[in-house]
Amino acid sequence: MLVLNLFSNPFFFFCFIAALILALTVHEFAHAWAADKLGDSTAKHMGRLTLNPLAHLDPIGSIFLLLAGFGWGKPVPVNDRNFKNPAIDTLKVSVSGPLSNLLLAVIFAIPIRFLDLPANTNLLFQVIVSINLILMTFNLLPIPPLDGSSILRIFLGESGYAAFEQMGIYILIAILFFTPLISIIIKYVAGNIFIFLTNTTPILF
């Protein structure tokens, strides 16, 4: 279990917590920023258009990431009635979170790949890249309430998506607890992206 490895190495634990806070904060901030730019200031008025981690961390989602290797932040409130094109603009807001994690992963992967970093710095950067790729991959799964489910709204229509959305959380819970499917997908996708970006062996997959 991941949590056992964390507590056996204090510096690795620090790296993991720092990476987790950074990834979740930037992810949720990106949602709030995109929504505001597209015409919905709901998140801004609720104090979510900030890089203050306390505004974005979800206790349960953080514990899941600590214990299971995947998790989520506190959902950003979005009122799609403020968008010009609700389906497309909601998709843009949803995708902005995972894209922000990919951007962070690329930024921290560059020095890993091209510089001879001190061991502790290299470990910190590798964990940051790993956590961001995990968060990105997990949230792109097309299961409500994850970000990736927004693409279904375009194909299913409002009524079809609403019906699927009501079942989504139960489907997600069933997959999380009764099959290794999500873990396999995350390890395969995020692990291979990690190798591609850093040219090193993955440390969290």
Residues 2-14: pLDDT tens digits? 544 556 778 888 8
Highest mean pLDDT of the ranges 43-52, 63-72, 160-169 = 43-52
Q: Please indicate, yes or no, if residue 72 is contained in any of the structural domains.
A: yes
More confident residue, 105 or 170: 105
Total residues found in the chain within this entry:
205
Residue 205 within a domain: no
Q: Which range of residues forms the domain containing residue 94? A: 2-198
- Of 85-99, 122-136, 156-170, 174-188, minimum mean pLDDT range: 156-170
Residue 203 lies in a domain: no
28, 36, 40, 89: the catalytic one is 28
Residue 142 included in any domain? yes
Query: Catalytic annotation on 28?
Result: yes
In degrees rounded to 5, what are phi and psi of residue 84?
A: -70, -40
Residue 63, in any domain of the structure: yes
Please enumerate in sequence order all residues whose Cβ is within 8 A of that of 126, keeping only pairs 6 or more positions apart, or say none. 112, 198, 200, 203
pLDDT, position 5? 59
Residue 26 lies in a domain: yes
Q: What is the pTM of this model?
A: 0.88
C-alpha–C-alpha distance, residues 70 and 51, integer Å: 21
Q: Is residue 46 part of a domain?
A: yes
Question: Among 148, 130, 125, 128, which Cα is nearest to 138's?
Answer: 148
Tally of domains within the chain: 1
